[in-house]
A = this chain, B = another copy of it.
């Protein structure tokens, strides 16, 4: 069978590779399984991607691009609470539709090689970290965030919570963990509503207790 590798086929390879890497980790991923899943022969993969490592990194970059696009575009709003709700919605949808991307992210955070870890982190975390830091700095200046909050630390805590939310949607272990903590599926309608309300409240209180307070006469 000799169908010319169309654009879609290439995309499919990357998608299946991302799945495989996300599911098994770099070391346990099998090129032959990726080829099989994408419906191509092994040789094709090596025609388009030098080797396993290269393929992994391309999947990674792709995933991260997608991920950071989602995070940065969803965060556009003047109102903090609205922005936050937008972000949560994005995370919910994205994680459900692209669990592999999140698994990829999780997989690289296991990377034991110091140097490579550093490079990846720089590439990935750079954008959102400054986004969040700026946002918090602005908030402090505007008086909407408590003035003793360190922008750096607060952004860090904030992203930590979002990160774990991603994991809770996309990784089996974390999904189960959610069930243990909250007694229901993270996918359930009940969760969707409660999680959003509670996280918004939690973060608003954490960053601006006064406003929170003010809301309750």
**Cβ–Cβ contact A113 & B172, under 8 A:** yes
Tallying the copies of this chain within the complex gives: 4
**A:170-187 near B, CB below 8 Å:** 171-183
How many whole Å from A122's CB to the nearest CB in chain B?
6
Residues of B within 8 A of A203 (CB): 206
Please, how many angstroms separate the alpha-carbon atoms of A189 and B152 in the complex?
A: 16
Chain B residues with CB below 8 A from A205, complex form: 146, 205-207, 209
Q: Is A23 an interface residue when CB atoms closer than 8 A count as contact?
A: yes
- What is the CA–CA distance of A209 and B106 in the complex, to the nearest angstrom? 33
A interface, CB within 8 angstroms of B = 23-28, 103, 106-114, 117-118, 120-122, 125-126, 129, 133, 146, 148-150, 152-157, 159-161, 163-165, 167, 171-183, 194-195, 198-199, 201-203, 205-207, 209-210, 212-213, 216
